[in-house]
Structure 1
């Protein structure tokens, strides 16, 4: 494979300057092949290669060469907000060439007109999908799309949105970036792109099976076997790697297992640099968006060079853990598989502690993970610049399974990518999105639907039933013309089945003075958050509810599970807006600070959507209740604090403190600056008083 020198690139000197500043003097084999295949000339490519093989730089060269050739705008799309932020920071390097880099995610009911000022826009698949419904002129002008982590097409939740974005992007120039997949040629053909396939990695990967039976034996695929001392294979292997100077990522199939494993590993007492550890533990205790129990638990673990990482943790905690690992202060992270698909966090070794995961819909509750999931986890092994090779081991508890598991996960390619649009909820939402585009007619919608990766016979079925359903439920009229209700639902970026449930429920319900019925209804929609609920917990939830939901507990087991999940979400949010202490909420419901933030964020969007749907249907009494509810969910306060928390810097705790001391509105803050500073501190108080004056003046 040819290796291209940066000096030989047919690009502007400033481009080469940026690369050299990063220490890049030659392109690696994957990057070189992309250039050979026409990357810099704007050729449409689908590049599939392992994690850590330099795909981001390929995207950067593609974007910059496009703009240098006179292109209007490049859009870089990722499946996760964390990746969006990471790429945004990386791409800021290119502003030296005069190109402005912007970022957007969340807030789906807007066209983000400000992005017209930017040459490179980084966003998520969901945000881009929602933007297409708003038809902003800047998006119509955008002519180069980079679809990152394209293997998310196979993801049950995000796959339909990835496909929806791909269908639209196919009309422009595009670059697809994906982990290795077995049907890359078919995907490339669908995207009208040239496939660039390689298994090259910057750090070679050594893989093996760790049998945790009567003896702990690690057997690599090259046939070499070693026996480890101890009773626990994960502990023995982790100890070995850390003693050799490496770091380890241990993946477990649940949060509880990740936390339990972290505690066990911490008992190994690794030698650490005391000052560095004390510094990061000190910063950990200052993280504001976390529960005190989480901080205390992690402080104890991190003081021993270990941490756990999962979605239940707040962003502040996750960011600090990742920073500590990158700085090599933290030696071991135990995590759920979500970390594998998230940020760039390589380690010397990866331990896949479980090949099974929980699935309540399967008899026995366990299913094996996909090969793609294993490849994503194992792909984190090997730190460029630190390791000559990475190691990934799969733990098995039964020696008889070793050969089968090695053959399935290590020696086989990942599963082929398939369309996830093959269900009513996903496909009908896709159709509504198509109908919302400027100038859309029935021929356009039908043509675009045929452009999906879904089997054409299935497309025909879903197309006819979907259009009929959208008309029958008053989203569409006269072919594919959006009704007022349909337009509002499309702009809000909620699933049409969510809108139907809101419409059907409220049409049969009187306005309630209690928030539980509304929160339960919204949590029960397809867009609502999901909470785990144990059988014993169900009675508690019914008892804790200050008033009953709009609907009764259903007899069907699956529907009952959804009912109680929604009730738990409703009660969590109810406590949040009643200003219950965050630590008390986390303890009462057995959730993490990250869970609470995610639930609040989703329910803020859904209460806003419920308000807008009610307005579109002219149900003013329901609309008024949900408008107030939305404001309270946004700030986590009772109604009497809503005026005060309009001032930046005043949240639920400071707001209540000020209110209890007679400062109940922004005007009171301006009139009593010394009292404000005495209550909340000199520096913060001074800023709050200034911001209160700006709020009164209508500047904020």
Structure 2
């Protein structure tokens, strides 16, 4: 026992915590999810006087409890028993602290009673009382010492200096940017701020967070009621007293303008377009703060380079403006500091330490530092036959007798997940593919306690979750129906947005204990866990990069919920060397990618000319000198690329030069910038729309919808040529004219159906292939616009329903760009036709339902059922009693299942609440219609 006790010297493992609960009949614990603990909350009960975790004896394995719930389907796969995980004989070498775990060697974080500057209410930060109270309500009562040091950097709190900083995932880096941004917005009644995030899910999550943080803050009160030493922020503003937070992302139904927000939370593309529009109409002077989250993406040539374009434009303005860049994976922070001419700060502090492990051949090894990794890989070399006595695994995962778990990697993933859940903690599993996610989720669910063994309150919440998923327009996914009763779910792009949100919320609240996700989840949404398990280190067939690996490992450990985070990277023999190299690889240094592809520097130059930020050669050179490119490339190479790009822009007729040497964007150049297109894509779109002006097929949907399909990133479109052929055979005369007009040939589709190849070697062949891909997507849009449910479209075209929904949302954003393109070119009739179909695409309905589809919760199928029941106008719905809407909503449910009396009543209550929201929404829309009619009469 003495030897084994030394294995737990650094932290309390999952099983060690669970041993204290062995007297209980069940190992489900009360979830703390959703209840953040204060930053200064200590865990002294688990620490010695120096702040280090106490030693504990290792636990015994928890007993497996079998059994099936009474409502388990008869065809459910048989239950499995997870492999036992035992401590190895002898003692393991004392593990050195990793870069994330330095907290173990230091005393606990000081509280605000020791250091008053750790309180956001300190006068040094000059924050309104209500804002401080809102932060406290969200669990942030004090800040970390590193946050204090960073905020108090030279000129930062006054907004006089830019900032770029790096902190680990989970280290609290967002709070620094939030405080600086909110200060700028609060200190000027007309101030605007932009927060840039890379993914739509992060934008939506951040909008909700910020709206809660600024809730109840009245500008009028800030101007009149502050009686302390803080500055008087402003006088009352007539139109709005609240701080307005608006999200901008592709497919967003919000058509907000620059005047409609105080804080804009945007995707990269939307932020760049917003800045372009504001510079062009001279409203950019109100912008006071711009936050660039995940700024390491700046060297992503696909979309991240837009961050460099946008930030450089802002630095050319010469107005008071604070740019704040942050990332968890920055290595050459000095480059960004020099580029932004600001202050830099770097920390490796993480409030919840992470213990890292490598799992190979059923053995768990410590893998916390580069030194131990190098030693481990040397001693794991198969040629050594593990002969070196110094290396000892920390634990051993027994092999399984079940054929489903014969693979040692899969067996390790299931065993580690089972161990975590039975100790009452949450676990996040990363898998390499969507199919892998679902397979892992099913296997893990088969070893966990059954539905009947769960706590009654958890049973009820899981039943509610199943009901919520079942009531979605797509119905309940069969695999989720199988796994959720056991507290397991999966999360990938194949699910719809609504499904992912419900799953993420349930996991965050502790209703679900296991979430199996693809690697993209690591950066796309904030779902931490006590234990993170990596089923290999691949994304598809390729190994993930060091930055992505750090993102995944960084999800381990929840502040306020866990004392420690644990990561387990499970790999097989063929990947061992590559995985170990990856685990100790340095993060790549970022650099500008503007000249790695000529389209990027072309777009940069075209944008600044079109918005008239630079019109002379001197101003163009000044712009280029302020790019990050100027700090990371040779001047001669930069000059050569700029000269070539200007010549190309003139050759493509995007830019002209007058007799005085001034550059001007042509109408086409302005249209390309307005629609956020790359120059080469703009040429293709211009040619397609010019042909459409000559012969636009208006007696059907296909030609319009074809022009809604994006021109970028179509290489990943998997065309089912059999479906393509069948749909072509069923086209009406209008659709056949569109095919003929576009130059698509049935013989080519037939050839592809029988194993042919669509050549893409020459520019002409690439454009031709692009048309086939776009038309295939247009067929899906046609079905969506004609009220075919997403899941039916997904089945028909052999695509995940989440991908179909993403296609619709992407096309909505692209359609908005096409409308701007036509408006800028002066093609008003074409713009009007596209705008009408854009509304249909958003509603997923025919023209007669567009008014009803504006009502909250009333989309496509529900709108049609309302129409069929005589509620054909917004006024009719507004004047209906919610109880009258209840039976109609019952008809709109996608799945009719037999429920028990209790569940039936709960389901009815939920629908009645939904009916009330629908009636209220219809009333608001009706009042707007009535007011508009009065205005028109006047």
Partner of 2:267: 124
Partner of 2:431: 252
**Does structure 2 retain, via aligned residues, the 8 Å contact 1:183–1:416?**
yes
Tell me, yes or no, if structure 1 residue 481 matches structure 2 residue 664: yes
Where 2:291 maps in the other structure, the secondary structure is strand
Partner of 1:195: 344
Q: Residue 525 of structure 2: which of 333, 337, 343 is its match? A: 343
Where 1:79 maps in the other structure, the secondary structure is coil
C-alpha offsets along residues 390-442 of structure 1, whole Å, 9 cap, x if unaligned?
A: 112222111x6435422322x23311113243323433333333223355313
Partner of 2:840: 632
Partner of 1:76: 195
Q: Residue 209 of structure 1: which of 336, 343, 358 is its match? A: 358
C-alpha offsets along residues 62-109 of structure 1, whole Å, 9 cap, x if unaligned?
A: 234546776944433222233233333333434555462422313799
Q: TM-score, normalised to structure 1's length?
A: 0.86
Partner of 2:702: 516
Q: Residue 418 of structure 1: which of 587, 591, 606 is its match? A: 591
- Rounded Cα–Cα distance in structure 1 between residues aligned with 2:878 and 2:141: 58
Partner of 1:581: 789
- Rounded Cα–Cα distance in structure 2 between residues aligned with 1:674 and 1:82: 32
Where 1:286 maps in the other structure, the secondary structure is helix
Q: Which moved more, 1:681-690 or 1:605-614?
A: 681-690
Gaps of 5+ in 2: 1-105, 220-242, 373-390, 401-405, 749-757, 890-914, 934-938
Q: Residue 301 of structure 1: which of 480, 483, 494 is its match? A: 483
- Rounded Cα–Cα distance in structure 1 between residues aligned with 2:345 and 2:552: 22
C-alpha offsets along residues 5-43 of structure 1, whole Å, 9 cap, x if unaligned?
A: 362342347265555555555432431331353343544
C-alpha offsets along residues 648-692 of structure 1, whole Å, 9 cap, x if unaligned?
A: 665322443355567666688799999996984685785587467
- Rounded Cα–Cα distance in structure 2 between residues aligned with 1:690 and 1:471: 54
**Does structure 2 retain, via aligned residues, the 8 Å contact 1:83–1:342?**
yes
- Rounded Cα–Cα distance in structure 1 between residues aligned with 2:171 and 2:779: 46
Partner of 2:259: 114
**Does structure 2 retain, via aligned residues, the 8 Å contact 1:669–1:689?**
yes
Q: Return the offset for 1:631.
A: 3.2
Partner of 1:265: 444
After TM superposition, the structure 1 = structure 2 runs for residues 136-147 of structure 1, keeping only pairs within 5 Å, are 137-147=282-292
**Does structure 2 retain, via aligned residues, the 8 Å contact 1:529–1:602?**
no
Partner of 2:213: 93
Partner of 2:508: 326
Q: Residue 639 of structure 2: which of 460, 469, 472 is its match? A: 460
Partner of 2:294: 149
Partner of 1:242: 421
Q: Return the offset for 1:287.
A: 4.4
**Superposition RMSD on alpha carbons, in Å?**
3.7
Q: Return the offset for 1:526.
A: 1.8
Q: Residue 46 of structure 1: which of 155, 164, 167 is its match? A: 164
CA distance 1:169–1:268, change in 2 (3 Å): farther
Tell me, yes or no, if structure 1 residue 551 matches structure 2 residue 743: yes
Q: Which moved more, 1:622-631 or 1:51-60?
A: 622-631
Where 1:88 maps in the other structure, the secondary structure is helix
Partner of 2:619: 444
- Rounded Cα–Cα distance in structure 1 between residues aligned with 2:180 and 2:918: 48
Where 2:357 maps in the other structure, the secondary structure is strand
Partner of 1:314: 496
After TM superposition, the structure 1 = structure 2 runs for residues 647-658 of structure 1, keeping only pairs within 5 Å, are 650-658=858-866
Where 1:574 maps in the other structure, the secondary structure is helix
- Rounded Cα–Cα distance in structure 2 between residues aligned with 1:591 and 1:282: 28
- Rounded Cα–Cα distance in structure 2 between residues aligned with 1:294 and 1:425: 44
After TM superposition, the structure 1 = structure 2 runs for residues 25-36 of structure 1, keeping only pairs within 5 Å, are 26-36=142-152
- Rounded Cα–Cα distance in structure 2 between residues aligned with 1:618 and 1:19: 49
C-alpha offsets along residues 445-474 of structure 1, whole Å, 9 cap, x if unaligned?
A: 442233222335554344334333333444
- Rounded Cα–Cα distance in structure 2 between residues aligned with 1:667 and 1:381: 51
After TM superposition, the structure 1 = structure 2 runs for residues 615-694 of structure 1, keeping only pairs within 5 Å, are 615-617=823-825, 622-623=830-831, 625-642=833-850, 645=853, 650-660=858-868, 680=888, 690=923, 693-694=926-927
- Rounded Cα–Cα distance in structure 2 between residues aligned with 1:4 and 1:169: 39
Where relative contact order (Cα < 8 A, 6+ residues apart) is larger, the structure is 2
Where 1:523 maps in the other structure, the secondary structure is coil
Where 1:637 maps in the other structure, the secondary structure is coil
Q: Which moved more, 1:677-686 or 1:506-515?
A: 677-686
Tell me, yes or no, if structure 1 residue 7 matches structure 2 residue 116: yes
CA distance 1:86–1:507, change in 2 (3 Å): closer
Q: Return the offset for 1:248.
A: 1.3
Where 1:143 maps in the other structure, the secondary structure is strand
**Does structure 2 retain, via aligned residues, the 8 Å contact 1:646–1:695?**
no
- Rounded Cα–Cα distance in structure 2 between residues aligned with 1:206 and 1:166: 37
- Rounded Cα–Cα distance in structure 2 between residues aligned with 1:355 and 1:678: 49
Q: Return the offset for 1:266.
A: 0.9
**Does structure 2 retain, via aligned residues, the 8 Å contact 1:148–1:176?**
yes
- Rounded Cα–Cα distance in structure 2 between residues aligned with 1:588 and 1:87: 35
**Does structure 2 retain, via aligned residues, the 8 Å contact 1:516–1:571?**
yes
Please say which structure displays the higher CA radius of gyration. 2
Q: Return the offset for 1:645.
A: 4.5
Q: Return the offset for 1:578.
A: 2.1
Q: Which moved more, 1:48-57 or 1:87-96?
A: 87-96
CA distance 1:352–1:176, change in 2 (3 Å): same
- Rounded Cα–Cα distance in structure 2 between residues aligned with 1:325 and 1:579: 32
State how many pairs are aligned: 687
Where 2:345 maps in the other structure, the secondary structure is strand
Q: TM-score, normalised to structure 2's length?
A: 0.66
Partner of 1:133: 276
Tell me, yes or no, if structure 1 residue 605 matches structure 2 residue 780: no
- Rounded Cα–Cα distance in structure 2 between residues aligned with 1:683 and 1:22: 29
- Rounded Cα–Cα distance in structure 2 between residues aligned with 1:685 and 1:204: 47
CA distance 1:57–1:646, change in 2 (3 Å): closer
**Does structure 1 retain, via aligned residues, the 8 Å contact 2:614–2:623?**
no
Q: Residue 381 of structure 1: which of 512, 534, 556 is its match? A: 556
Q: Return the offset for 1:386.
A: 2.6
Tell me, yes or no, if structure 1 residue 225 matches structure 2 residue 387: no
Where 1:415 maps in the other structure, the secondary structure is coil
CA distance 1:196–1:104, change in 2 (3 Å): same
Where 2:344 maps in the other structure, the secondary structure is strand
- Rounded Cα–Cα distance in structure 2 between residues aligned with 1:40 and 1:611: 42
Q: Which moved more, 1:426-435 or 1:453-462?
A: 453-462
Partner of 1:697: 930
